[in-house]
A and B are shown apart, each in its own frame.
Chain A
């Protein structure tokens, strides 16, 4: 541990620390432009010069390029260093366009700060300034090249760190240019990070362009709700609208960056169509009045048909507080236990994950970055959880082998091996791969149960080519030292989650102690998984509604219509209810169908705790008080001139608040939740109640048990080894980076980037079905037409028809059957399609 002196203050730092970081630990901020800890040092800007007065290095040196060493004596205020830095900043400012007043970076601009810290205040250079043309970089990032100071941060992030090539550096000498070869949207789903890392205003946030200064924003630490990773953000609101999000560093989760879905997905909070008025049988009413009436009706129904005639549906986007409140309420009112997932498979997968994940197994994103072998099964990282791809790339940059086992034509910003297996083959393929690896590494450490389990695993998959690839990958796994299995939940069922845990445990007995990383269907799916314990799944609830066993349904921040396959059945079932009460902040179909509707508050207004896919409990603070965005109240002109209360400032209650009110009306009086939400359910969660007796740490609180109590390594394993019968296609409904997730698909810029929906089909299937690449598929389901273009690719597994959840497809697309015959695919092709001869359609 080197021991050095900086500005007469002593400090000891870990080996390998640069002097600039050592100084930062002392609270001395040495000016810098090009240096960024995650990107490393390049010494391009010369701004961090300090004087090395004694020790192994002498003289004026760049503090970002020199590693701390014993005996160093460094002065950051040496006159020579100060003069040097003053000149550097003056030179950097020679071509600066002096447009800070119209630059969105102004106010949080590193160049402004360093210009002031360098003491440069008057322009001496009288020559002409260099100018650059700007480019249209798409709907997310605004380009203004004149402001560039050539620090190379952007390309280093974009190309080296994130692995995309479409933005780079061009030109020579003083004409160095950072941009794309030609205008066009940036391809990287991490492009928004350019805004954060560029020290000047070359890249600025386009959706919030010219809307506010950073210093005017109400800012608070928030959590991204657009996938289960729970990346940390700082959200900024202005005049009651959330207008900008930035990444917040959390080394246990997202590191320094976030993806564009997380950065730009907040538009749903500002939506003009967002419901703000509570309704009682279609008529506007105050929310308290509506809730009071709901309580009265619930009491009536309970008296007439018993308490179990009332059911509750929460969601995986509920805050933990809301979920706990729901559970508490239904427990004490003796209603049915709450459900949180509409999709039964998601509910079972999440239950399996929550049961199996423990701290032996669990890996976080930073662990993945350190892995030397990554096996992703049932995951399309860029589309399911973008930041996962960025973490995997860091592993790849350090030399890790990466294998993806998935039916989809997965694309990733780094080299990897894609093993295409059909959806039904995934568990078997995974088993084969791991079995190969364990057998190769030897089973010396295994106990009898483990050996039996191993023996029961299938040794082959029917597909020869896949078998060969699995064998090779098994070899890599056997040779690795820090492997990790990444297991998705979006397409694969619960069997895969359980199997992955078993296999990881099996690997841990050998020389390759594998870790496990699950993805979950929603930002608080983990919480839902914990709290859904003992409840049956939504489809069974639907049956009960149809049979009349359930007469009232309370839906909190969920839209059963969003993806439920049988929309007609759902519609008629919900129509049978005596009371459908919905509480939500989205303009959802369920909200419109409700007898009693209460508008909700988003995470930006209410805050809340969320448990991410790794069992990390994190808190999102409220950003603003709520109310209708001022721009909507005043129609873009100045706000009404009146004394308080200003119009539109009425807030919607948070789900928690509304439920608490409802509970009080029902004469159930929960204790306040100030201390810990778990204190409401001490008997259910004794361990957590104890953990959460104190406020959460800012970087999250790990909730996983040390050892999972669930049964593991159950033999015999009965794994399906093939998909649907020949001639049939499994319909895979998949996520897209943009335009499919429930909340972020309201964001206009992300919709633009999502492009039109594409159906994907393997070449062989296309030939057999007689459809061609680029052809327009036109389904007619339930009287509604769904159109989407067909893309034929051989990078995917045969036997699947892949159709994205896409905002533009509308609700009819939900009703696609799980399996279609190839012949049916032809049948589904619209009659009026000019490409298809009449004869084929008829045959």
Chain B
């Protein structure tokens, strides 16, 4: 490969001037105030969408939003979510247990993005260091909160056409179930 001849645009003088200019730029930075916020002394209020400790939210009626669909555990790049899905009385699918190993979580937020029910959400609460690795393992009880978090109004079961006791055809934009014994047009 032919090596680029470092085209000499403007000659040595310009080059030297450029070099000097860059030294000048860095020098001026030296005399500016650092931008750093010193952490424990000052805690900056974080935006709601910043990504730290994970919670499992509830719907408006107080039910668990998570339907144990395994999408979050499937998408998690470090495989730190595990759960066991099960069926509740009435036919709702839920997580019999649900576990996040925060010692492994990289707070990428992919789980939140994958969640079809908006159940799993990352919160700005990032201060949860502890001494023992096992203390980082959070169970469902540790994760469940009693509010809806972001978009608290959404309820998966209002839109999905699956019957969990309230009968077919009763959800958002659904017709009543067809009469399968009728051959009338």
A contacting B, Cβ–Cβ less than 8 Å: yes
A interface, CB within 8 angstroms of B = 96-103, 106-107, 126-134, 144, 146, 170-173, 175, 177, 179, 209-213, 215-216, 239, 630-631, 634, 636-639, 641-643
Binds A, one of B4-12, B13-21, B168-176: B168-176
Q: Are B139 and A97 in contact (CB under 8 A)?
A: no
Q: Which residues of B contact A100 (CB under 8 A)?
A: 69, 116
Q: Which residues of B contact A179 (CB under 8 A)?
A: 180
Q: Is B67 an interface residue (CB 8 A)?
A: yes
Minimum CB–CB distance for A126 against chain B, Å: 8
A106 to B69, CA, bound (A): 9
Residue among B97, B161, B182 making CB contact with A99, cutoff 8 Å? B161
Q: Is B53 an interface residue (CB 8 A)?
A: no
Query: What does the 1/0 interface line of B52-68 toward A look like (CB < 8 Å)?
Result: 00000000000000011
Minimum CB–CB distance for B152 against chain A, Å: 19
Minimum CB–CB distance for B93 against chain A, Å: 4
Q: Are A98 and B160 in contact (CB under 8 A)?
A: yes
Q: Is B113 an interface residue (CB 8 A)?
A: no
Within residues 143 to 185 of chain B, which ones have a CB less than 8 A from any CB in chain A?
156, 159-163, 168-169, 173-183, 185
* Contact status of A213 and B173, CB under 8 A, knowing A99-B162, A106-B69: no
Q: Is B140 an interface residue (CB 8 A)?
A: yes
Q: Are A216 and B74 in contact (CB under 8 A)?
A: yes
Within residues 93 to 152 of chain B, which ones have a CB less than 8 A from any CB in chain A?
93, 96-99, 116-117, 134, 137, 139-140
Q: Are A101 and B67 in contact (CB under 8 A)?
A: yes
A97 to B168, CA, bound (A): 11
* Contact status of A172 and B183, CB under 8 A, knowing A637-B96, A638-B140: yes
Q: Are A212 and B168 in contact (CB under 8 A)?
A: no
Q: Are B168 and A132 in contact (CB under 8 A)?
A: yes
A710 to B174, CA, bound (A): 71
Binds A, one of B32-40, B43-51, B82-90: B82-90
A132 to B100, CA, bound (A): 38
A175 to B184, CA, bound (A): 10
Q: Are A213 and B70 in contact (CB under 8 A)?
A: yes
Q: Which residues of B contact A133 (CB under 8 A)?
A: 168, 177-178, 180
A130 to B98, CA, bound (A): 34
Q: Which residue of B lies closest to A636 (CB)?
A: B96
* Contact status of A99 and B70, CB under 8 A, knowing A131-B174, A131-B175, A131-B176: no
Q: Which residue of B lies closest to A144 (CB)?
A: B162
Q: Which residues of B contact A630 (CB under 8 A)?
A: 84
Minimum CB–CB distance for A426 against chain B, Å: 47
How many A-B pairs have beta carbons closer than 8 Å: the answer is 117
Q: Are A171 and B173 in contact (CB under 8 A)?
A: no
Please, how many residues of chain B have a CB less than 8 angstroms from a CB on the other chain?
42
> Which among B96, B162, B168, B169 has the highest number of chain A CB atoms within 10 Å?
B162
Residue among A129, A239, A642 making CB contact with B175, cutoff 8 Å? A129
* Contact status of A128 and B159, CB under 8 A, knowing A101-B71, A177-B180, A210-B85: no
B interface, CB within 8 angstroms of A = 67-71, 73-74, 84-87, 93, 96-99, 116-117, 134, 137, 139-140, 156, 159-163, 168-169, 173-183, 185
Q: Which residues of A contact B96 (CB under 8 A)?
A: 636-637
Residue among B85, B93, B156, B174 making CB contact with A128, cutoff 8 Å? B174
23 pairs, CB–CB < 8 Å, chain A vs chain B? A97-B160, A101-B67, A101-B116, A101-B117, A101-B160, A102-B93, A126-B173, A130-B175, A131-B161, A131-B176, A131-B177, A131-B178, A170-B181, A209-B87, A216-B70, A216-B74, A634-B97, A636-B86, A636-B96, A637-B97, A638-B97, A641-B134, A642-B134
Q: Which residues of B contact A98 (CB under 8 A)?
A: 159-161
Q: Are A128 and B134 in contact (CB under 8 A)?
A: no
* Contact status of A129 and B174, CB under 8 A, knowing A97-B162, A134-B163, A179-B180: yes
A210 to B86, CA, bound (A): 5
In order of increasing CB-CB distance, the 6 nearest A-B pairs are A97-B161, A638-B97, A101-B69, A99-B160, A131-B169, A99-B162
A212 to B69, CA, bound (A): 9
Q: Which residues of B contact A636 (CB under 8 A)?
A: 86, 96
A129 to B175, CA, bound (A): 6
A221 to B134, CA, bound (A): 36
Minimum CB–CB distance for B3 against chain A, Å: 42
* Contact status of A171 and B180, CB under 8 A, knowing A99-B160, A641-B134: yes
Residue among B116, B163, B168, B180 making CB contact with A175, cutoff 8 Å? B180
Residue among B97, B98, B173, B177 making CB contact with A132, cutoff 8 Å? B177
* Contact status of A129 and B161, CB under 8 A, knowing A146-B168, A172-B185, A216-B70: yes
Q: Which residues of A contact B163 (CB under 8 A)?
A: 134
Residue among B85, B160, B169, B179 making CB contact with A212, cutoff 8 Å? B85
Q: Are A173 and B185 in contact (CB under 8 A)?
A: yes
Q: Which residues of A contact B93 (CB under 8 A)?
A: 101-102, 210
Q: Are B162 and A146 in contact (CB under 8 A)?
A: yes
Q: Which residues of B contact A97 (CB under 8 A)?
A: 160-162
A221 to B161, CA, bound (A): 35
A555 to B98, CA, bound (A): 43
Q: Which residue of B lies closest to A101 (CB)?
A: B69
Q: Are A638 and B180 in contact (CB under 8 A)?
A: no
Minimum CB–CB distance for B7 against chain A, Å: 45
Q: Are A171 and B178 in contact (CB under 8 A)?
A: yes
A177 to B93, CA, bound (A): 25
Minimum CB–CB distance for A331 against chain B, Å: 48
A239 to B83, CA, bound (A): 10
A96 to B69, CA, bound (A): 18
Q: Which residues of A contact B175 (CB under 8 A)?
A: 128-131
Q: Which residue of B lies closest to A147 (CB)?
A: B161
Q: Which residues of B contact A637 (CB under 8 A)?
A: 96-97
A362 to B94, CA, bound (A): 52
A29 to B60, CA, bound (A): 44
Minimum CB–CB distance for A123 against chain B, Å: 10
Q: Which residues of B contact A175 (CB under 8 A)?
A: 178-180, 182
> Which among A97, A107, A630 has the highest number of chain B CB atoms within 10 Å?
A97
Minimum CB–CB distance for A101 against chain B, Å: 4
Q: Which residues of B contact A101 (CB under 8 A)?
A: 67, 69, 71, 93, 116-117, 156, 160
Minimum CB–CB distance for A237 against chain B, Å: 14
Q: Which residues of A contact B68 (CB under 8 A)?
A: 210
A128 to B176, CA, bound (A): 10
A103 to B182, CA, bound (A): 28
Q: Which residues of A contact B183 (CB under 8 A)?
A: 171-172
Minimum CB–CB distance for B32 against chain A, Å: 48
